[in-house]
Amino acid sequence: MLARDLRAAVGDTPLVGLPALSPPGYELYVKLEGHNPTGSVKDRVAKYLLEDAERAGLLHPGSRILEPTSGNTGIALAALCAPRGYKLSCVMPENTSVERRRLLELYSVDIIPSPAAEGSNGAVRMAREIADADPDVYLPFQYGNAANPRAHYETTGPEILRDLPDVAAVVAGLGTGGTLTGVGRRLKEHDPAAKVFAAEPEYGELVYGLRNLDEGFVPPVLDTSVLDGRIKVDSLAALTETRRLATEEGIFAGISTGAALAVALRVCNPRRLAEGSKVVVVSPDGGWKYLSTGAYAAGNLEQIAASLAETVWA
Amino acid sequence: MPIEVRVPTVLRKHTAGEKTLSGSGSTVRELVEDLEGRNPGLRQSLVGDDGQLHRFVNVYVNDEDVRYLGGIETPLSDGDSVSILPAVAGG
Ligand SMILES: Cc1ncc(COP(=O)(O)O)c(C=O)c1O
């Protein structure tokens, strides 16, 4: 595959069968978004966010961009901003993995830490405050920008349908909801009977903190009408499945992938999906950025999961 | 067997600091009514004037968001586990 530049190398990721993990009567496949240039599904989104803004004449060499992110979107934006001379700042919760920060540092991104106890909601709040006070900074805002789900509607979804036209269901993690909304819409246009399931990370108490329920945040890009179910997965279950993916299929993935796999295994049930169904799990990233969390280290799995539960892994 | 309910930190002011409650009811709505009797203020934090769950509150029955089951009328059986979580984003 020849790409003229990094942007052209985004997408077209492998869809890999999981013969050892598929329950009897079902076929599971995982779409490895970790194969994108900066190692996550967010390369697709970053490309769409920037190209939209460029078409609208909002960006020029030297432009400043600000984005709230738990990491992957920031890294993806950074790689595409660098060659174009855009200056990127990211508001990121202080309890994300050190690899995410190191990668942003490599690209000379200005990292603005937001309080751990506010999770991604805090990053969103701070980014909005900064952008309101600084009209020259461009805020792509993946949580509210239609280019985010459109990246999946125009690329991730069609790739899945090209490779597996008779796919019965897709499972993906829920962050901004961009993946689920974009892939879900495309899938249901193709086959209204197809199902879309969200795997929602369930964290430890620290991440939920003391936030008020009425200060919650539902990303505007999330179209809940495309979802057929939303299932929460705690760190232990996510980690258990992430490790099985490595030991039984040889695939080294991030923690969200295990969460989505746990949901896929749960919905492979004749009450929800006919026997013979093909189910696609979207793996948003590989395991590299989680090594320092101890997620893959030897030791007591429950203890590892408990410490992981306090970092934002989606 | 009663239904176990996990309560997030922010709502524990209504539960005398308890992390888990035990209640009964054949639907989520009945369960909330039952809990309200012993934990005044809890219902108002979960349910709006329209009788539906607040937008930023997620209630799960056996890990599934009730919005995709039967909403506040989702049926419950003995031994189900219910959890309440604030809505958080990722990305
Ligand atoms: C690790 C991980 N899991 C899940 C997601 C969810 O993606 P989305 O924002 O499309 O909902 C992301 C997005 O960055 C992610 O990085």
Task: pLDDT tens for chain A, 314 residues: list them.
Answer: 899 999 999 999 999 999 999 999 999 999 999 999 999 999 999 999 999 999 999 999 999 999 999 899 999 999 999 999 999 999 998 888 899 999 999 999 999 999 887 778 889 999 999 999 999 999 999 999 999 999 999 999 999 999 999 999 999 999 999 999 999 999 999 999 999 999 998 987 766 665 666 666 789 999 999 999 999 999 999 999 999 999 999 999 999 999 999 999 999 999 999 999 999 999 999 999 999 999 999 999 999 999 888 776 66
Q: Is B72 a member of any domain?
A: yes
Considering the domain architecture, whether residues A278 and A161 belong to the same structural domain is answered as yes
Alpha-carbon gap, residue A286 to A60, rounded angstroms = 32
Q: Is A47 a member of any domain?
A: yes
Which pLDDT tens digit goes with each residue over A236-293?
Answer: 999 999 999 999 999 999 999 999 999 999 999 999 999 999 999 999 999 999 999 9
The predicted structure's pLDDT at residue A41: 98
CA-nearest residue to B84 within chain A is A213
Sheet holding A110-114, edge to edge: A64-68, A87-93, A110-114
- Asked whether the beta carbons of A176 and A147 are under 8 A apart, the reply is no
- Select from A104, A138, A172 the last residue of a domain: A138
Q: Is A89 a member of any domain?
A: yes
The predicted structure's pLDDT at residue A119: 77
CATH classification of the domain holding B24? 3.10.20.30
Q: Is A149 a member of any domain?
A: no
**Does the CB of B48 have a partner CB in chain A at under 8 Å?**
no
Element (H, E) at A170: strand A169-173
Considering the domain architecture, whether residues A177 and A268 belong to the same structural domain is answered as yes
| A174 CB near ligand 1 (under 6 Å) | yes
Burial environment of residue B1 by CB neighbours within 10 A (0 to 12, 13 to 18, 19 or more): exposed
Residue of A36, A38, A42 to test ligand 1 pocket, by largest number of atoms within 8 Å of CB: A42
User: Which amino acid does the sequence have at A111?
Assistant: I
Which pLDDT tens digit goes with each residue over A156-174?
Answer: 999 999 999 999 999 999 9
- Select from A76, A110, A138 the last residue of a domain: A138
| A285 CB near ligand 1 (under 6 Å) | yes
CA-nearest residue to A211 within chain B is B10
Q: Which residues is B52 bridged to in the sheet? A: none
Considering the domain architecture, whether residues A118 and A160 belong to the same structural domain is answered as no
Distance from CA of A114 to the nearest CA of B (A): 14
- Asked whether the beta carbons of B11 and B84 are under 8 A apart, the reply is yes
Chain B residues with beta carbon closer than 8 angstroms to that of A215: 56
Q: What total of structural domains would you count in chain A?
A: 2
Q: What is the DSSP letter of A267?
A: H
Q: Residue A68: give the domain boundaries.
A: 42-138
Considering the domain architecture, whether residues A100 and A225 belong to the same structural domain is answered as no
Q: Which residues is A171 bridged to in the sheet? A: A197, A281
Chain B residues with beta carbon closer than 8 angstroms to that of A142: 91
| A222 CB near ligand 1 (under 6 Å) | no
- Asked whether the beta carbons of A313 and A62 are under 8 A apart, the reply is no
The stretches in chain B having pLDDT less than 50 are: none
**Does the CB of B59 have a partner CB in chain A at under 8 Å?**
no
- Cα–ligand 1 centroid distance for B54 (angstroms): 25
Considering the domain architecture, whether residues A111 and A182 belong to the same structural domain is answered as no
Q: Is A251 a member of any domain?
A: yes
Considering the domain architecture, whether residues A222 and A268 belong to the same structural domain is answered as yes
Determine whether the interchain pair A202/B85 forms a contact, defined as Cβ–Cβ distance below 8 Å. Answer: yes
Pairing state between β A169-173 and B20-23: unpaired
Q: Is A147 a member of any domain?
A: no
- Asked whether the beta carbons of A111 and A105 are under 8 A apart, the reply is yes
Alpha-carbon gap, residue A314 to A203, rounded angstroms = 10
Considering the domain architecture, whether residues A167 and A290 belong to the same structural domain is answered as yes
The whole-model pTM stands at: 0.95
- Asked whether the beta carbons of A109 and A66 are under 8 A apart, the reply is no
Alpha-carbon gap, residue A168 to A170, rounded angstroms = 7
Using DSSP, state whether A198 is helix, strand or coil.
Answer: strand
Q: Is A2 a member of any domain?
A: no
Element (H, E) at A195: strand A195-202
What tokens were used for A130?
A: 């900064």
Q: Residue B76: give the domain boundaries.
A: 3-86
Determine whether the interchain pair A214/B90 forms a contact, defined as Cβ–Cβ distance below 8 Å. Answer: no
**Does the CB of B89 have a partner CB in chain A at under 8 Å?**
yes
Distance from CA of A218 to the nearest CA of B (A): 7
Whose tokens are 């295990």? That residue is A258
